Amino acid sequence: MNAFTGTGTLLRLALRRDRIMLPAWVYLLTASVASTAFSFKKLYSTGTSREQLAASLAGNSSLRALYGPLNDAASIGGITAWRMGVFGAALAGLMSILLVVRHTRAEEEDGRLELVRAGAVGHRAPLTAALATAALANLLLAVLVSTVLVVLGQAAAGSLAFGLSLAVCGLVFAGGAAVTAQLAETGRAANGSACAVLGLAYVLRAAGDSSSARDPGAVSRFSPIGWSEQVEPFAADRWWVLVLASAFAVLLAGVAYALVARRDLGAGLIPSRPGRTVGAPSLRTPLALAWRLQRGTLYGWSAGFAVGGAVFGGVAKGVLDLVRGNSGVADILRRMGGQQAVLDAYLSTVMGLLGMIAAGYAVQCVLRLRGEETGGRVEPVLATAVSRLRWAGGHLLFPLLGSGVILAVGGLTAGLAEGAAMGDLMGSVGRLLGGALVQLPAVWLAAAAATALFGLAPRWSSAAWGVLSVFLLIAWLGPVLQFGRRVLDFSPFTHIPRLPGGVFTVQPLLWLTLLAVGLTAAGLAGLRRRDLG
Amino acid sequence: MTTAISVSGLVKTFGRTRALDGLELTVAQGEVHGFLGPNGAGKSTTIRVLLGLLRADSGSARLLDGDPWHDAVALHRRLAYVPGDVTLWRNLSGGEAIDLLGRLRGGLDSARRAALLERFELDPTKKGRAYSKGNRQKVALVAALASDVELLVLDEPTSGLDPLMEEVFRECVAEERERGRTVLLSSHILSEVEALCDRVSIIRAGRTVETGTLNELRHLTRTAVDAELAAAPDGLSGLAGVHDLVVEGSRVRCQVDTDHLDALLRELTRIGVRSLTSRPPTLEELFLRHYQADTPAAEVAR
Ligand SMILES: Nc1ncnc2c1ncn2[C@@H]1O[C@H](COP(=O)(O)OP(=O)(O)OP(=O)(O)O)[C@@H](O)[C@H]1O
Ligand SMILES: [Mg+2]
């Protein structure tokens, strides 16, 4: 028996367990590329319309920070690669992280891997099976995305380069997650740290891309998502970047293999310290327990938002400088309503982005309830004098208030960074805090949808991620794809006033909040009457 | 005699599985009641209904004169529960988990807590999965036993405990009984049941097949008889209540229902007995007979 014995069986097991999740991810990603390309085919059918797009983008560093530079305006494939490249690569990364951690550290944490490893299974087999699953998913993604673009009449080389540029980012983060899965003791921590790196990679390239019009700045080269952009599908088709990135993914996997041989099953490389003999006097309520369980996540997200806010806020001045320095866009500037309007458009986009990410935090917090239930940890608690509502209430305080905390942190650092650069510290902080906190009703609605699922259809709790993805896709792609009003209305994020700059209206916020209260109440009512465990 | 738990006609289905199918269970105040049955019989399901975690489809359940579903919070102040499969929070130490669970129930006796930690030789500073299976079980046991409650609901509480700790557990339960507490003890360990329980209920496939003291149960089952007779017997197989009859010349071996023992012995002495051994069923035989799925419930209950 060698270290890889059993990999094939484990791979089949992984594919069977992921028979819904994996195709869903690949389908959603491919479908968003396909629908983007399809709608661009109608929107920008003429060369001049595409050149106009390129010209207006040249002056808009905020959009470049969000999507990356437009390298090839000559073809539909080129603008599709621009629009979907960064998000597609980041989402492929996220998919890979979730896949790898799910089959490695999460399995180990739940004790199932122990059972598996006791069979004729080598110590490298589980990791190999997990990496192979991620590799298959990314390969499938590359094939499907390339095929879709070729079918839509785009150049074969560019289509293939684009498909592979997404997949290769996925591979790098699969390797990264393989490493964090060895370091951290819990699946949650492994996911969290790998996602933090993913977030940092996105922010790094955002900073790099917004810094100048054509050259994607040196900082982008430190970001795996930046590498995917450097492939420049349809424009340069740099295959060697793909090779380099793949080599880096292999290197990371090698590090993970080296680490897996150096540690015990179930242990991380960072050992845990002994705990307290006696519980602190404050550890006496369901809320205190929820705080102990959720505080780490809150700290992590707050740190992420602090960094993200500061970077996006700091970039704001660059947006203006670029516009000022470029006479060609003076026209656009005037059309958009002057400097302040350009700045506000950028900042309100960033605030919207923070809101959407915060919704991910809120949904994660709600699903913690389900984790406690299926993990068997809720039974002993509910067998004491704690009602179901008090137990759930303790945890639900985090999507309610914790989301506010992370948004406030993001708005605050964005305001401080922008204010320091522009000179109006207090004004900036105030405006951006407002812009961040105004997102809360939409965040609450996403959390409320998760609560309703948890209470009324517990087995379908993780469908909350699906609901959130639909909300986000509509808010991101809806305006581009010119969805109808009805479809746009379905996402709470399209109802949030665009602050700073936009008109503040209370009405949609009230409606969203009311709806969130209603869904939460329905979920809690369901929780009170259903079976637990 | 007041009753601590009374369950009748309890039905609980999970989709197509009928986990409880008209279950009956009565536990008197102050008794230690053994709750037995093969895997999947519905013991844990019954306990979850009693704790208000599951909602029964039909039938009635009363716990400490309250409704387990509607009065859950008030009732839980008066009981403590130990699950068969304890999972702990990975960032809480065992000591913290004990204190938290005790306080959520309404407080725990810190002197008792310290004494129990010592008796069970449990290190309270470890966290979550750093505990071995048996030690996780001890955390839940200490948390339950250190509270001042009227009723202990224990679902296979000793799974994973070593024999020494099993002994400590028995002492603790005996002390609880002295104090007048009621204990519902689900267990697969027959010696534990024999040592601790005043009465037992045996369930199978969601139904109660037997309930009573161990002596009563013994009485209800068969006695093994092995006899050397003066002559070869005839007509023994015609006797009611005789099973598994083997005749080798003048030697006879059989099982006989205890209430038909009298008739068999009369027949044997009529032929003439040279030697005779009879043995009451061992506990294992008793339970095996009730557990075996191929014995129809009606026959078991006979
Ligand atoms: N949540 C559930 N969903 C579906 N079926 C369940 C559920 N809980 C229990 N069951 C089924 O109900 C039946 C009774 O299970 P239960 O756990 O009560 O058995 P048990 O007597 O405690 O067994 P053991 O001795 O193995 O602990 C089993 O067939 C089991 O599969
Ligand atoms: Mg059980």
Interface touch A279/B72, C-beta < 8 Å: no
CA distance A201 to A311: 12
CA–centroid distance, residue B73 to ligand 1 (Å): 24
Interface test with B, best of A276, A285, A391, A527 (most B CBs within 10 A): A276
Mean pLDDT over residues B155-162, rounded?
90
User: Which segment of A297-301, A427-431, B143-147, B244-248 scores lowest on mean pLDDT?
Assistant: B244-248
Tell me: pLDDT of B1 over 70.
Answer: no
pLDDT, residue A71, reads: 86
Scan for tokens 């080389």, then name that residue: A157
Mean pLDDT over residues B161-173, rounded?
92
Mean pLDDT over residues A435-460, rounded?
96
- pLDDT class for B298, splitting at 50, 70, 90? very low
pLDDT, residue B302, reads: 42
pLDDT, residue B4, reads: 92
Domain ranges across chain B: 3-217, 222-280
Tell me: pLDDT of A316 over 90.
Answer: no
pLDDT, residue B238, reads: 80
Mean pLDDT over residues A230-238, rounded?
91
Cβ neighbours of residue B170 closer than 8 Å, sequence gap 6 or more = B192, B195, B196
Number of the ligand closest to the Cα of B83: 2
Tell me: pLDDT of A327 over 70.
Answer: no
Determine what percent of chain A is predicted with pLDDT higher than 90. Answer: 54
Cβ neighbours of residue A512 closer than 8 Å, sequence gap 6 or more = A441, A442, A444, A445, A492, A495, A496
Mean pLDDT over residues A349-359, rounded?
92
Residue A505, CA distances (Å) to A92, A493, A495, A514, B8 in order: 37, 14, 10, 15, 59
pLDDT, residue A78, reads: 93
Mean pLDDT over residues A493-501, rounded?
89
Cβ-Cβ pairs closer than 8 A, A with B, add up to: 120
Mean pLDDT over residues B92-115, rounded?
92
Of B73, B77, B101, the CB nearest to A380: B101
Residue B28, classified by CB atoms within 10 Å of its CB into exposed (0-12), middle (13-18) or buried (19+), is middle
A381–chain B Cβ distance below 8 A for any pair: yes
CA distance A519 to A455: 10
Please name the residues between 224 and 283 in chain A that touch chain B, using a CB distance below 8 Å. 266, 272, 274-280, 283
Q: Tell me which of A49 and B292 has the higher pLDDT.
A: A49
Mean pLDDT over residues A171-178, rounded?
96
Residues in chain B: 302
Q: Which residues pair with B62 in a beta bridge?
A: B6
pLDDT, residue B301, reads: 43
Mean pLDDT over residues B174-192, rounded?
91
pLDDT, residue A61, reads: 66
Residue A212, CA distances (Å) to A71, A207, A242 in order: 13, 10, 24
pLDDT, residue A100, reads: 95
Q: Is B11 helix (H, G, I), strand (E, B) or coil?
A: strand
> Residue B100: which of B143, B130, B149 has the closest Cα?
B143
- pLDDT class for A29, splitting at 50, 70, 90? very high
Q: Is A217 helix (H, G, I), strand (E, B) or coil?
A: coil
pLDDT, residue A244, reads: 94
Cβ neighbours of residue A143 closer than 8 Å, sequence gap 6 or more = A163
Neighbours of ion ligand 2 (CB under 5 A): B 44
CA distance A400 to A394: 10
Tell me: pLDDT of B299 over 50.
Answer: no
CA-nearest residue for atom 17, ligand 1, is B44
H helix runs in A68-124, sequence order: 76-103, 105-109, 112-117
**Which residues of chain A lie closer than 8 angstroms to B105, CB-CB?**
384-385
> Residue B103: closest CA among chain A residues belongs to which residue?
A284
pLDDT, residue A474, reads: 87
**Which residues of chain A lie closer than 8 angstroms to B140, CB-CB?**
380
- pLDDT class for A323, splitting at 50, 70, 90? low
- pLDDT class for A119, splitting at 50, 70, 90? confident
> Residue A369: which of A470, A286, A492, A440 has the closest Cα?
A286
Tell me: pLDDT of B55 over 60.
Answer: yes
Phi (first) and psi of residue A491, to 5 degrees: -90, 130
Mean pLDDT over residues A479-508, rounded?
86
Tell me: pLDDT of A200 over 60.
Answer: yes
8 Å CB contact between A362 and A395: no
The sign one gets for the Cα dihedral A232, A234, A238, A241 is positive
Mean pLDDT over residues B11-33, rounded?
93
A383–chain B Cβ distance below 8 A for any pair: yes
List of E strands, A358-437: none
User: Could you tell which of B10, B21, B39, B44 is best to mutate to test the pocket of ligand 1, judged by most ligand atoms within 8 Å of the CB?
Assistant: B44
* Type of residue at B228: E
Q: Tell me which of A334 and A456 has the higher pLDDT.
A: A456
Interface touch B104/A286, C-beta < 8 Å: yes
CA distance B114 to B137: 17
CA distance B277 to A462: 65
Distance between terminal CA atoms of chain B? 27
CA–centroid distance, residue B172 to ligand 2 (Å): 22
Q: Which two tokens stand for residue B129?
A: 């999965």
Interface test with B, best of A278, A285, A378 (most B CBs within 10 A): A278
DSSP state of B249: T
β-strands B207-212, B58-63 pairing: unpaired
CA distance B285 to B281: 6
Q: Which residues pair with A5 in a beta bridge?
A: none
pLDDT tens sequence across A253-292: 999 999 988 877 667 666 667 788 888 888 999 999 999 9
Q: Which two tokens stand for residue A75?
A: 């073809």
Q: Tell me which of A100 and A43 has the higher pLDDT.
A: A100
User: Which segment of A39-53, A176-190, A413-427, B107-121 scores lowest on mean pLDDT?
Assistant: A39-53
pLDDT, residue B300, reads: 45
Scan for tokens 């992984």, then name that residue: A14
* Type of residue at A217: G
Tell me: pLDDT of A531 over 50.
Answer: yes
Q: Which two tokens stand for residue A268?
A: 């991380």
Strand order in the sheet with B273-279: B242-248, B251-257, B222-229, B273-279
Give the ipTM: 0.82
Atom of ligand 1 nearest to the CA of B46: 18
DSSP state of A401: I
pLDDT, residue A266, reads: 67
CA-nearest residue for atom 16, ligand 1, is B42
Tell me: pLDDT of A362 over 90.
Answer: yes
Tell me: pLDDT of A155 over 90.
Answer: yes
Tell me: pLDDT of A493 over 90.
Answer: yes
Strand order in the sheet with B199-204: B79-82, B151-155, B182-186, B32-36, B199-204, B207-212
Q: Tell me which of A305 and B286 has the higher pLDDT.
A: A305
CA-nearest residue for atom 27, ligand 1, is B39
CA distance A228 to A249: 13
Tell me: pLDDT of B45 over 50.
Answer: yes
Average pLDDT value for chain A: 88
Task: Please tell me the pTM assigned to this model.
Answer: 0.78
CA distance B5 to B226: 43
Q: Which two tokens stand for residue A182?
A: 């060895």
pLDDT, residue A102, reads: 92
> Residue A380: closest CA among chain B residues belongs to which residue?
B81
CA distance A136 to A310: 37
8 Å CB contact between B256 and B279: no
- pLDDT class for B297, splitting at 50, 70, 90? very low
B129–chain A Cβ distance below 8 A for any pair: yes
- pLDDT class for A463, splitting at 50, 70, 90? very high
Yes or no: domain B222-280 corresponds to CATH 3.40.50: no
* Type of residue at B202: I
Q: Which two tokens stand for residue A245?
A: 């990135």
Fold of the B3-217 domain: Rossmann fold (3.40.50)
pLDDT, residue A247, reads: 96
CA–centroid distance, residue B19 to ligand 1 (Å): 6
CA distance A333 to A322: 11
Scan for tokens 């006479």, then name that residue: A327
